[in-house]
Structure 1
Amino acid sequence: MKRISVLIDIAPATPYDRAVIELCAEQQAEIEARYPGAGEAPKGIDPQIDFLVARIGDEAVGCGGLRPLEPRVAEVTRMYVRPAHRGQGISRRLLQSLEELARTRGVRTLRLETGDLQPESIGLYQSSGYRRIPAFGPYIGNILSLCFEKHV
């Protein structure tokens, strides 16, 4: 099999950026398809989230965000890569870039939530050094949620 390298640009974006809005809508549609009727999807995008968008050329292919939780603690949220671009290491690069952003902001602990039906996400987080923790914040009591944490 021939291996192809692609140039991925990861840059900051606001919650109001068109690419962020489109990617987050796609992410929520995919979550609803995996967990039909599991609950109401969040309305809108939290304006406190600092986003990074991954692009190949002019095409936005993925995003992820950091939401402050408490001093020196933030949540990795809204991680998503379009299906056609999965398997190219984009999620891992986004996660590493979010960790770097967190460190520059004085964040020392990152938390995140994913669902029990998302083995690819679970694998990414565990292989990136995140460890399982009890549910936090809005995920407490949600039996489908798996929460993770990493000290950066």
Structure 2
Amino acid sequence: MLIEIRTALDPELAALVTAQQRELADSGRPAGRVFEPHDDVQYLVGVVNGRGVAVAAWQEAGPGGAEMRRIFVRPAFRGRGLARQLIVAVEEEALAAGRPWIRLELESRQIEAIALYQSSGYHQVPSDDPARLRFEKRLPALVQ
């Protein structure tokens, strides 16, 4: 998979966001937590055979931190390690931007996502919202 940085108005990003929103609606998840493009977020699109099949994003959060936004992989491309590749790409981009820690929040029913993040080195920390789980990871320093 090739991972490319895309603008918030990129048509393939829009198609991935639409697919993700449809999946969220079909699963009964709250509409208020859907993934929407914003100019202050960096979007990474995973491309396979010239087609955008996965998306991840991050944005600055607090002093020295980053927040990973939802990762989405089209159903036909799941189980191939694409989400894990996107996690690594987000971590590399955040670290290169001087952001040595990343946090993210999930719903407790997102069992597969929780397992993915935990196996990627994320640790659960207290959350202000009891309906959401918060995870964080300190990133290793870049060697110059």
Which residue type is aligned with residue 17 of structure 1? D
1:74 aligns with 2:66: yes
Query: 1:31: how far off?
Result: 2.2
| CA RMSD after TM alignment | 1.7
The equivalent residue for 1:107 is: 99
1:84-123 equivalences in 2 (<5 Å): 84-123=76-115
Counterpart contact for 2:24–2:34, Cα < 8 Å: no
Counterpart contact for 1:27–1:78, Cα < 8 Å: no
Which residue type is aligned with residue 60 of structure 1? G
Against the structure 1 CA distance between its residues 43 and 101, is the aligned structure 2 distance closer, same or farther, given a 3 Å change threshold?
Answer: closer
Counterpart contact for 2:17–2:36, Cα < 8 Å: no
The equivalent residue for 1:4 is: none
Q: 1:141 aligns with which of 125, 129, 137?
A: 129
Identity of aligned residues (%): 32
Which residue type is aligned with residue 125 of structure 2? I
Query: 1:71: how far off?
Result: 2.5
Secondary structure of 1:40 counterpart:
helix
Secondary structure of 1:78 counterpart:
coil
- Deviation per residue, 1:9-68 (Å, 9 max, x gap): 0111111111111212222222233234x3534584221110110010111000100111
What are the ranges of 5 or more consecutive residues in structure 1 without an aligned counterpart?
A: 1-7
Which residue type is aligned with residue 102 of structure 1? A
What stretches of structure 1 move > 2 A for 4+ residues in a row? 31-36, 38-44
Counterpart contact for 1:28–1:41, Cα < 8 Å: no
What are the ranges of 5 or more consecutive residues in structure 2 without an aligned counterpart?
A: 140-144
1:49 aligns with 2:41: yes
**What is the TM-score of this pair, normalised by structure 1?**
0.84
Against the structure 1 CA distance between its residues 148 and 85, is the aligned structure 2 distance closer, same or farther, given a 3 Å change threshold?
Answer: same
Secondary structure of 1:94 counterpart:
helix
1:11 aligns with 2:11: no
| Cα distance in 1 between the residues matched to 2:35 and 2:94 | 25
Query: 1:142: how far off?
Result: 5.1
**What is the TM-score of this pair, normalised by structure 2?**
0.88
Counterpart contact for 2:17–2:35, Cα < 8 Å: no
Q: How many residues of Structure 1 are paired with residues of Structure 2 in the alignment? A: 139
